[in-house]
């Protein structure tokens, strides 16, 4: 009898906790791509190849970013990477200066491209990047995927302490990750950043003691969505036969 009562109390406690967590979370912002054009009140286009200040976007990437490598179809943003002659093109958008967030759950539902040399990402940078530079501003890589490493999702943190090296990272195997849409998210608070794929926690970044070099995350960050080609991480080899490739984003949501 006592055991049954204990189990009942435990179930109630868990149920109340889950309900309380759900109740206190509020949808702060969402992008459902419900218009025919990207809303430039919320989004910026980053264009070109990064030159002259950051050629290859700092990673020896091959693509040029344009305003013409994306469409919105049936409520989904479709970024298409193409090769025309010797030129690779793609799209990169950010919410810098328009929609910036500190703490909460940030998630995207997306379908990945495939093939050697492809490198789609859903990530965030600290809003003070122009003042302090990278990596001191901090970087949160909610999703990175590289075609040369199929069935794997990369989730990473960059800080001044890591000096640009990807040491705070996790590579997680999902045998069907290239099939259909999946939800990529972080739960970010004053102590830690927890990463998940389809609500399965895959990595937690939680320094034992925080300082400006390992925790630049007590400030607003902005969202970035892009698909790179080649580079130090996605390449260097690129299989030109794979193009065009599409990175589809169903929605982005921010809860606090």
What residue ranges do the domains of the chain occupy?
A: 26-255
User: Residue for token digits 């090296």?
Assistant: 165
Q: What is the mean pLDDT of residues 175-197?
A: 98
| pLDDT surpasses 80 at 6 | no
Out of 2.60.120.200, 3.90.180.10, 3.30.300.30, 2.102.10.10, the CATH code matching 26-255 is 2.60.120.200
State residue 139's pLDDT score.
Answer: 97
- Is 144 among the catalytic positions? yes
Q: Is the pLDDT of residue 141 over 70?
A: yes
Query: What's the pLDDT score for residue 165?
Result: 80
In the residue annotation, 165 being an active-site residue is answered as: no
> ∠ CA(60), CA(249), CA(133), 5° rounding?
40
pLDDT in tens, 88-136: 999 999 999 999 999 999 999 999 999 999 999 999 999 999 999 999 9
Given 31, 61, 144, 161, the catalytic residue: 144
User: Of residues 31, 61, 107, 139, which has the active-site annotation?
Assistant: 139
Strands (E), the chain: 27-31, 44-45, 63-65, 70-73, 76-84, 87-90, 92-94, 100-101, 104-111, 118-126, 139-144, 152-158, 168-173, 182-188, 193-197, 200-205, 221-229, 245-255
What is the structure's pLDDT at 163?
80
Q: Do β-strands 87-90 and 63-65 pair in parallel, antiparallel, or remain unpaired?
A: parallel
Q: What pTM was estimated for this model as a whole?
A: 0.90
Q: What mean pLDDT do residues 139-151 have?
A: 98
Is 148's pLDDT higher than 70? yes
> Which pLDDT value is given to residue 18?
36
Is residue 109 packed enough to be buried (19+ CB in 10 Å), middle (13-18) or exposed (0-12)? Answer: middle
- For residue 241, what pLDDT band results from cuts at 50, 70 and 90? very high
Give the per-residue pLDDT at 166.
84
Supply angle C-alpha 210, 213, 218, rounded to 5.
Answer: 60
- pLDDT, position 9: 40
Q: What is the pLDDT of residues 27-82, one digit of tens each?
A: 999 999 999 999 999 999 999 999 999 999 999 999 999 999 999 999 999 999 99
């Amino acid at each position: 009898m006592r055991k049954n009562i204990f189990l009942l109390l435990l179930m109630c406690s868990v149920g109340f906790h889950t309900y309380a967590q759900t109740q206190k979370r509020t949808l702060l912002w969402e992008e459902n791509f419900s218009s025919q054009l990207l809303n430039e009140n919320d989004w910026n286009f980053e264009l070109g190849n990064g030159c002259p200040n950051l050629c290859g976007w700092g990673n020896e990437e091959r693509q040029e970013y344009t305003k013409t490598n994306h469409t919105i179809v049936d409520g989904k943003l479709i970024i298409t990477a193409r090769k025309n002659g010797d030129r690779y093109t793609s799209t990169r958008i950010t919410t810098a200066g328009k929609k910036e967030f500190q703490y909460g759950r940030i998630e995207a539902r997306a379908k990945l491209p495939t093939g050697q040399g492809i490198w789609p990402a859903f990530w965030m940078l600290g809003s003070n990047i122009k003042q302090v530079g990278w990596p001191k501003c901090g970087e949160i890589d909610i999703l990175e995927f590289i075609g040369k490493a199929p069935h794997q999702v990369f989730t990473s943190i960059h800080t001044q302490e890591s000096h640009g090296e990807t040491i705070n990272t996790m590579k997680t195997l999902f045998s069907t990750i290239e099939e259909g849409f999946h939800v990529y998210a972080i739960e970010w608070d004053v102590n830690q950043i927890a990463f998940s794929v389809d609500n399965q926690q895959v990595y937690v970044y939680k320094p034992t003691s925080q300082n400006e070099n390992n925790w630049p995350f007590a400030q607003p960050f902005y969202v970035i969505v892009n698909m790179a080609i080649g580079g130090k991480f996605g390449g260097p080899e690129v299989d030109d036969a794979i193009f065009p490739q599409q990175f589809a984003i169903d929605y982005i949501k921010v809860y606090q």
